[in-house]
């Protein structure tokens, strides 16, 4: 029934809405977008999509045939590549005649999914080289893309360079720091990996759900033969994330309508779970739309009906998205907690090996950089850390630990 | 309270705001606090050769509201800013600033009770608080020193202690970091 109403709404563009949502835009900007979609008033839709990440109107039936059909194809191409469906993604890309920069980015994603890392890197770099002419959001995506394909190709220093380009106020900042930590780890730079993981222990990371940051933190301590500290990192991780996973599972078992739109219940949800939900771009966009719809002036007549339908529609979509996001959170937590168990067993086994005199297997690619030997550019700030966290320092910590490994075991 | 690592940890990152190889245009207003007081306004252009060293050209105008005394001056100065730091504004924001010493010389023309022209030197101390990558506020103390003639007496070297505040715009707008 709801779909029927929406189809009728899309097909029944009347003279009252000849200019789309212009007449109600100041008091009801989100509902105005629905009227824009009906009336083929494309400009506001394009602005909402690119400037505010708003794309809920593309989920309305008929959007793929509307004036916003190229936006629809662009979004669907991205989703298809995200799911690894290259053929479908390319098919959507073929429907787009505009948005050459966005198409270039998606082409890079497709090349990366296909394992053509060198080509993908060149594609992302071509966007980065045009940084003055593209949006900050697309540039950040290109930085992340270049970093990821460099990581996959084993060029970790290059990956670290591009991860570092993602700015602190960007929604992808913590994701970039997290992935940069893995690049440090894979590069054998345990002090860099520890530095990246430190950002996730700060109060600023209260809303971040990155259990794997503790995994590579423990791994880095382990490879420096600081086994007590490796064990402590795992204990800290379990203490934080086991209760989080319990709540994720509890929420998964409840109907989203019972908690997602109730502020009192939301206040009791762990900030890390809320942060994880908001870090998902699709959930974030819908949540923003929902909030904006609630803040709109109450409309009357046809527009009022569209407004009420939009609220129901967005709530339905939010329910679907929250189920997907929670399932992903549960999966990631399970994987990280299993890894934590493995590391704990390894540390216990190590204790046994030490008792029986068995040698410890050591990584031979551990790099220890002495900060005192490094010449820093005048454009680089070098602040000693004394236990205080500054927002502008997040993601840039670097440890100066020395390995205590020896063939006989830890000292 | 959580105890964090205090190992040998450093934060190593790019400067948030850089002046190196950039132009800075400032409009400032303030006043001379002594010598019966002047209101001052100036336009300053700086080119930053390095983060710490810049050359400044300044054109300024001062006037008294009670008397008809006026100053018009032009100065060429060197600015040295060895201190760059950040402060926490309560817990709301992190403000990045630099401190600079400035000094130079030029010419002043004074009009009013007595008219004349003189060499003028200046020394001062100031701070920039960065707003974003192309905007900053400036607060500055300067002593403008020049030889001035007074009615009924010999000329003498006067120190004119000024305080000024203003806004700076950096070019190019985007930093090359």
Q: Dump pLDDT digits (tens) for B82-121.
A: 999 988 888 778 899 999 999 999 999 999 888 899 999 9
Q: Do B11 and A201 touch (CB under 8 A)?
A: no
Instruction: Provide the CB-side half-sphere exposure for A370 (13 A, CA).
Output: 2
Asked if residue B142 lies in contact with residue B29, where contact means CB atoms within 8 angstroms, the answer is no
Tokens of A389: 């966290």
Report cis status (omega within 30 of 0) of the bond before B172: yes
A262/A35 Cα distance (integer angstroms): 29
Neighbouring residues of A198: CB distance < 8 A, sequence distance ≥ 6: A217, A397, A399, B4, B5, B9
3-state secondary structure of A28: coil
Q: pLDDT at residue A238 above 60?
A: yes
Q: Which of A67, A25, A19 is nearest to A46 (CA)?
A: A67
Chain A: residue whose CA lies nearest to B87: A390
Please check whether residue A169 touches B, CB under 8 A.
Answer: no
Q: pLDDT at residue A38 above 90?
A: no
Q: Do B15 and A380 touch (CB under 8 A)?
A: yes
Q: pLDDT at residue A403 above 90?
A: no
Long-range CB contacts (within 8 A, 24+) of A388-392: A389/A202, A389/A203, A389/A204, A389/B4, A390/B11, A390/B86, A390/B88, A390/B94, A391/A168, A391/A204, A391/B94, A392/A168, A392/B13, A392/B16, A392/B86, A392/B94, A392/B96
Share of chain B above pLDDT 70, in %: 95
Q: How far is A307 from chain B (nearest CA, A)?
A: 37
pLDDT of residue A182: 96
Neighbouring residues of A303: CB distance < 8 A, sequence distance ≥ 6: A24, A28, A31, A35
Question: At A398, is the pLDDT very low, low, confident or very high (cuts 50, 70, 90)?
Answer: very high
Question: At A8, is the pLDDT very low, low, confident or very high (cuts 50, 70, 90)?
Answer: very low
Tell how far CA B32 is from the center of its chain: 14
Chain A residues lying within 8 Å of B16, measured CB to CB: 381, 392
Segment A266-308, tens digit of pLDDT: 999 999 999 999 999 899 999 999 999 999 998 888 889 989 9
A271/A290 Cα distance (integer angstroms): 20
3-state secondary structure of A88: helix
B52/B49 Cα distance (integer angstroms): 8
Burial category of B103 from C-beta neighbours within 10 Å (exposed 0-12, middle 13-18, buried 19 and up): middle
Q: Is A115 left (phi over 0), alpha (psi -120 to 50) or beta?
A: left
Segment B10-50, tens digit of pLDDT: 888 888 899 999 999 999 999 999 988 999 999 999 999 99
B50/B62 Cα distance (integer angstroms): 31
Whether pTM > 0.80 for this model: the answer is yes
Asked if residue A70 lies in contact with residue A95, where contact means CB atoms within 8 angstroms, the answer is yes
Q: How many residues does chain A have?
A: 411
A147/A141 Cα distance (integer angstroms): 10
Q: Which of B6, B13, B50 sits opposite A378 (nearest CB)?
A: B50
pLDDT of residue A169: 83
pLDDT of residue A346: 87
Q: pLDDT at residue A386 above 90?
A: no
pLDDT of residue B176: 66
B8/A362 Cα distance (integer angstroms): 23
Between chain A and chain B, the number of residue pairs with CB atoms below 8 A apart is: 85
According to DSSP, the residues that pair with B167 across neighbouring strands are B27, B137
According to DSSP, the residues that pair with B144 across neighbouring strands are B122, B160
Q: Determine the average pLDDT of the residues in A19-26.
A: 83
Share of chain A above pLDDT 70, in %: 93
Asked if residue A393 lies in contact with residue A383, where contact means CB atoms within 8 angstroms, the answer is yes
Chain A residues lying within 8 Å of B177, measured CB to CB: 379
Q: Do B13 and A381 touch (CB under 8 A)?
A: yes
Q: Which of B135, B123, B143, B144 is nearest to B166 (CA)?
A: B135
Q: For chain B, what is the total number of helices (H) and then of strands (E)?
A: 0, 9
Q: Determine the average pLDDT of the residues in A82-105.
A: 93
User: For residues B62, B64, B67 and B68, what is the CA-based torsion angle, rounded to 10 degrees?
Assistant: 30
Asked if residue B109 lies in contact with residue B71, where contact means CB atoms within 8 angstroms, the answer is yes
pLDDT of residue B5: 56
Q: How far is A384 from chain B (nearest CA, A)?
A: 4
A266/A264 Cα distance (integer angstroms): 6
Question: At B80, is the pLDDT very low, low, confident or very high (cuts 50, 70, 90)?
Answer: very high
Residue A368: φ, ψ to 5°: -115, 110
Give how far Cα A79 sits from Cα of A76, A96, B29, B130, Å: 5, 15, 55, 40
Question: At A16, is the pLDDT very low, low, confident or very high (cuts 50, 70, 90)?
Answer: very low
B100/B140 Cα distance (integer angstroms): 9
Chain B residues lying within 8 Å of A370, measured CB to CB: none
User: For residues B26, B29, B30 and B32, what is the CA-based torsion angle, rounded to 10 degrees?
Assistant: 80
pLDDT of residue A373: 73
**β-strand B116-130 against B135-148: which pairing, if any?**
antiparallel
Q: Do A201 and B16 touch (CB under 8 A)?
A: no
Q: Do B86 and A392 touch (CB under 8 A)?
A: yes
pLDDT of residue A196: 96
A142/A106 Cα distance (integer angstroms): 10
A243/A234 Cα distance (integer angstroms): 14
Q: Which of A346, A122, A387, A339 is nearest to A214 (CA)?
A: A339
pLDDT of residue A62: 84
Question: At A7, is the pLDDT very low, low, confident or very high (cuts 50, 70, 90)?
Answer: very low
pLDDT of residue B6: 57
Neighbouring residues of B85: CB distance < 8 A, sequence distance ≥ 6: B96, B97, B98, B99
Q: Do B13 and A195 touch (CB under 8 A)?
A: no
**β-strand B70-89 against B93-111: which pairing, if any?**
antiparallel
A143/A159 Cα distance (integer angstroms): 9
């Amino acid at each position: 029934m709801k779909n029927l109403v929406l189809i009728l709404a899309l097909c029944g563009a009347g003279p009252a809405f000849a200019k789309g949502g212009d007449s109600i835009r100041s008091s009801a900007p989100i509902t105005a977008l629905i009227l824009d979609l009906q009336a083929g008033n494309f400009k506001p839709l394009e602005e909402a999509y690119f400037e505010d990440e708003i794309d809920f109107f593309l989920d309305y039936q008929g959007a793929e045939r509307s004036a916003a059909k190229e936006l629809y194809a662009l979004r669907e191409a991205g989703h298809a590549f995200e799911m690894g469906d290259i053929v479908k993604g390319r098919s959507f890309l073929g429907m787009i005649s505009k948005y050459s920069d966005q198409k270039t980015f998606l082409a890079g994603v497709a090349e990366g999914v296909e394992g053509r890392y060198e080509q993908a890197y060149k594609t992302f770099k071509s966007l980065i080289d045009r940084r003055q002419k593209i949006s900050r959001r697309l540039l950040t995506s290109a930085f992340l893309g270049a970093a990821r394909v460099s990581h996959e190709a084993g060029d970790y220093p290059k990956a670290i360079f591009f991860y570092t380009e993602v700015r602190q106020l960007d929604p992808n900042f913590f994701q970039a720091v997290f992935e940069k930590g893995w690049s440090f780890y894979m590069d054998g730079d345990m002090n860099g990996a520890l530095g990246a993981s430190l950002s996730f222990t700060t109060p600023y990371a209260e809303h971040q759900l990155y259990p794997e940051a503790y995994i590579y933190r423990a791994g880095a301590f382990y490879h420096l033969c600081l086994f007590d500290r490796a064990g402590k990192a795992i204990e800290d991780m379990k203490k934080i994330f086991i209760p989080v996973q319990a709540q994720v599972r509890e929420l998964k078992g409840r109907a989203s309508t019972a908690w997602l739109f109730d502020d009192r219940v939301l206040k009791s949800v762990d900030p890390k779970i809320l942060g994880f939900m908001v870090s998902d771009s699709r959930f974030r966009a819908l949540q923003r739309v929902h909030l904006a719809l609630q803040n709109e002036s109450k409309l009357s007549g046809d527009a009022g009906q569209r407004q009420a339908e939009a609220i129901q529609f967005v709530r339905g979509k939010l329910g679907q998205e929250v189920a997907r996001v929670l399932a992903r959170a549960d999966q990631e937590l399970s994987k990280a907690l299993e890894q934590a168990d493995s590391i704990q067993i390894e540390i216990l086994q190590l204790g046994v090996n030490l008792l029986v005199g068995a040698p410890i297997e050591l990584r031979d690619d551990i790099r220890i950089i002495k900060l005192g030997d490094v010449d820093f550019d005048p454009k680089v700030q070098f602040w000693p850390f004394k236990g205080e966290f500054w927002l502008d320092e997040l993601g840039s910590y670097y440890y100066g630990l020395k390995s205590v490994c020896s063939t006989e075991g830890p000292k | 309270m959580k105890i964090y690592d205090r190992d040998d940890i450093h934060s190593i990152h790019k400067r948030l705001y850089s002046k190196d190889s950039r132009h800075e245009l400032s409009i400032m207003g303030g006043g001379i606090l002594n010598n019966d007081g002047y209101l001052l306004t100036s336009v300053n252009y700086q080119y930053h050769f390095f983060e710490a060293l810049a050359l400044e050209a300044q054109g300024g105008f001062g006037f008294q509201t009670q008397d008809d005394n006026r100053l018009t001056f032009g100065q060429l100065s060197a600015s040295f800013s060895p201190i760059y730091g950040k402060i926490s504004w309560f817990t709301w924001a992190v403000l990045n600033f630099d401190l600079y010493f400035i000094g130079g010389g030029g010419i002043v023309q004074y009009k009013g009770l007595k008219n004349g022209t003189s060499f003028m030197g200046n020394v001062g101390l100031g701070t920039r608080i960065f707003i974003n990558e192309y905007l900053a506020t400036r607060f500055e103390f300067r002593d403008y020193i020049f030889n001035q003639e007074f009615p009924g007496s010999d000329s003498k070297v006067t120190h004119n202690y000024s305080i000024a505040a203003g806004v700076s715009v950096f070019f190019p707008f985007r930093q090359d970091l």
